[in-house]
Chains A and B, each alone.
Chain A
């Protein structure tokens, strides 16, 4: 079945630095990928839709200049959290179309 690989699984960074999260579709081509964020004890919230070869579409309230999304190929989408702050600490999850929304394993970001 479709597999989405997400890296890193965990990252700790200092406040003010940037962190890049990669999401790869391993056995299918994903023209569209989705990025979600999940705070403790809460549900997943869609942040943005990543479109191959074009600009991402951000959900209301998500700062596009802070959460940079690049989808340069049919198998790779990246999310860069710029100038991270402690409130950005969260669980970030990507998903690809590939059938029934195959999800990555998630990235636990901790900003200290």
Chain B
């Protein structure tokens, strides 16, 4: 898997947008960027993924830079329940969603009242 770099921790006020950055400068042209989160003592939860275009679903938006070397996960209106560890993962091409995932340390997002 391509190496990703994320800040160790971030804070966000409830109701505000949470913007979580991820650097993946060694990403290859056909490798996707995946985001998962893990709430304390639970299994990880899939959030969103993308290749080159920006993506949006009911949970979040994913903004990928034109050179694809970095991306930002956006939680538009963070709630206390969004407090979790957020993982940015770039699986080796060919594996994508059916291959194994390599988890880094992720970003601990704390949403406060």
Contacts and interface: CB of A to CB of B under 8 A. Distances in A.
Partners in one complex: yes
Interface of A: 4, 6, 32, 34, 36, 43-46, 49, 91, 93, 95, 97, 99-106, 108
14 contacts: A43-B87, A43-B104, A43-B105, A44-B44, A46-B102, A93-B44, A95-B44, A95-B101, A97-B97, A99-B97, A101-B46, A101-B97, A105-B42, A106-B43
A105 B38 CA distance: 10
B100 A46 contact: yes
Contact of A100 (B34, B102, B106): B34
B43 A104 contact: yes
A52 to B, nearest CB: 13
Interface in B68-107: 87, 97-98, 100-106
A106 B41 contact: yes
Nearest to A36: B103
Given A43-B105, A43-B106, A103 B45 contact: yes
In order of increasing CB-CB distance, the 6 nearest A-B pairs are A103-B43, A100-B46, A44-B103, A43-B103, A97-B98, A100-B97
Contacts of B97: 97, 99-101
Best-buried of B36, B98, B106 by chain A (most CB within 10 Å): B98
A99 B49 CA distance: 11
A9 to B, nearest CB: 9
| Chain B interface extent, by class | 20 to 34
Given A43-B103, A93-B44, A105-B43, 6 more contacts: A34-B100, A95-B44, A99-B46, A101-B97, A104-B43, A106-B42
Interface of B: 34, 36, 38, 41-46, 49, 87, 97-98, 100-106
Nearest to A105: B43
A8 to B, nearest CB: 14
Nearest to B97: A100
Contacts of A34: 100-101
Contacts of B41: 91, 106, 108
A101 B101 contact: yes
